Homo-oligomer: A and B are copies of this chain.
Amino acid sequence: MYAVAMTPARGDHEARRAEVSAAVWRVLTERGFAGLTLRAVAGELGATTGLLTHYFPSKRALLRYALDLLDEAHAARPRPHAEAAGPDAEGLAALRAALLDILPLTPESAAGSRIWVSSWDAALADAELAGDHAARYRRARSRMAEFAAAAQRRGELRTDRTPQDLAGAAQSFVLGLVVQALFAPEEFPPERQRSLLDAYLADLAPDRVGSASSA
C-alpha cells in the first residue's frame, strides 16, 4: 500500500527515509532538478527541512538514496509484461518484457522515466552519480544480453551479432524511444511505442528463407 500515511509508525527510520524519497520523486517529476530544493521536498512532505537533515547528512546523500530506491523499486515492482510472458520466460519473450518495462507506457512509469532523463544532467556533472548510472545501465545490458543469447540458442534471434551488441542496440533503441515519448507524448502514445518496439524486434529475427521468393 502506498497510502499517504500521516506518520509511519513513529520510530520506523527506514520507512521515513522511503517517504522522503517519494517526496523527492514528486518534486523531480514536477519541477525537475532545478526545482529540487530541501524546502520543496519538505513542503511536499508537509514537514520542514529539519526533518530532512535528521535523516540525511546532505542533499547529495538524499538524492543518491532517492535514485537508488527508485531503481530498486523499479526492479522489484510487479511486472505486468514479465508476468504476461510467464515468470520464467526465456529468450525473446524475456527480452521483450524487459524492454517494455523501460518504456513509459503508463503515467507512473512515465514519471519514473522523466526522473531518469532529468537525472542525466546531474549525473554527467558528478562522477559518483555518473558511476551509479553507468553501473545500472551496464547491469541492465548484461541481463538483456543473457536473454538475447538464449533467444539466439532458441533460433529466435539472428546469430550474426553478439548478444552484447544485440543488448546494447536494443537498450539504445528503447532509451531513445523514452526520450522521444517524453517530449512528444501525443506522437508516441503507448500503442505506437509498443508497435515500434515489436517492429524493431521483428527485424532481428533470423533471416527467413523462401518466405517471399523471387530471383
Contacts and interface: CB of A to CB of B under 8 A. Distances in A.
A65 to B, nearest CB: 18
Contact of A161 (B161, B165, B199): B199
Contacts of A85: none
B125 A35 contact: yes
B134 A183 contact: yes
Given A118-B124, A120-B117, A169 B210 contact: no
Q: Give the copy number.
A: 2
A122 B31 CA distance: 9
Contact of A214 (B180, B209, B211): B209
A183 B213 contact: no
B169 A120 contact: no
B179 A120 contact: yes
Nearest to A204: B203
Interface string A160-187: 1100010011011111111110111001
A212 B180 CA distance: 34
B213 A209 contact: yes
Interface of A: 31-35, 114, 117-125, 130, 133-134, 137-138, 158, 160-161, 165, 168-169, 171-180, 182-184, 187-188, 195-196, 199-200, 203-204, 207-215
13 contacts: A119-B121, A120-B183, A121-B122, A134-B183, A137-B183, A168-B187, A169-B196, A172-B196, A174-B176, A175-B180, A176-B178, A207-B212, A210-B213
